[in-house]
């Protein structure tokens, strides 16, 4: 039966690994229409190194500017999707986005026309409705107080 490595052996292994840092190479994945470039560092499970995904912003941005990142690339960077987006997918989603914007503008124009027509009918909108039913008072019960502590004075004795 083989023995597990001891603490001293583990110490020297960790010391050796700390001196010889594993070099990770970045792999170019793609770019977007904003000029951002996306890279991935492949992880190595034998050395307990996790993979990373990162972005190199286009040149000319200051450190305070936030880069514009398309939704598809953002999902890939955050690990919500396994594979990077394709050009066809980005173009298809961009077309859908522009189509939704166009429809929203058309609906806004249509709604503004309808609201202009209804401005003369405001008397119908602000008309109050009067009910024939009388208002019923809130029920009162003998064993419940209206105000907490109403039955007691400052000394804590019950008021009769």
CB 114 within 8 A of CB 92: no
CB 44 within 8 A of CB 22: yes
Cα separation, 30 vs 54, in Å, equals: 11
Lookup: tokens for 8: 């001293």
* Cβ count within 10 A of residue 106: 10
Lookup: tokens for 51: 């993979």
Cα separation, 108 vs 103, in Å, equals: 9
The H or E element containing residue 39 is: strand 37-41
pTM above 0.85, yes or no: no
Please, what's the b/e burial string for 50-71 (b: 16 or more CB within 10 A of its CB; e: otherwise)?
eeebebebeeeeeeeeeeebbe
pLDDT of 62 reads: 66
* Beta bridge mates, 38: 30, 55
pLDDT of 113 reads: 83
pLDDT of 30 reads: 93
pLDDT of 61 reads: 65
* Beta bridge mates, 55: 38
Lookup: tokens for 116: 């202009």
Q: How far from 47 is each of 8, 26, 41, 44, CA to CA, in Å? A: 19, 17, 14, 6
pLDDT of 158 reads: 82
pLDDT means per 10 residues, the chain with 160 residues, are 78 82 82 90 82 86 74 93 92 94 94 76 64 82 82 80
pLDDT of 69 reads: 87
């Amino acid at each position: 039966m083989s023995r597990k490595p001891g603490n001293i052996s583990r110490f020297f292994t960790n010391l050796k690994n700390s001196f010889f840092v594993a070099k990770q190479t970045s792999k170019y994945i793609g770019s977007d229409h904003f000029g951002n470039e996306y890279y991935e560092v492949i992880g190595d499970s034998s050395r307990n190194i996790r993979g990373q995904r990162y972005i190199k912003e286009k040149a000319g941005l200051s450190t305070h500017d936030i880069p514009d990142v398309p939704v598809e690339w953002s999902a890939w960077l955050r690990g919500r999707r396994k594979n990077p987006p394709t050009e066809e997918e980005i173009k298809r989603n961009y077309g859908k986005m522009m189509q939704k914007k166009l429809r929203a503008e058309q609906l806004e124009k249509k709604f503004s026309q309808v609201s202009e027509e209804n401005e003369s009918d405001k008397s119908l909108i602000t008309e109050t409705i009067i009910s024939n039913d009388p208002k019923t008072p809130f029920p009162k019960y003998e064993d419940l107080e209206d105000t907490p502590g109403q039955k007691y004075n400052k000394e804590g004795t019950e008021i009769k």
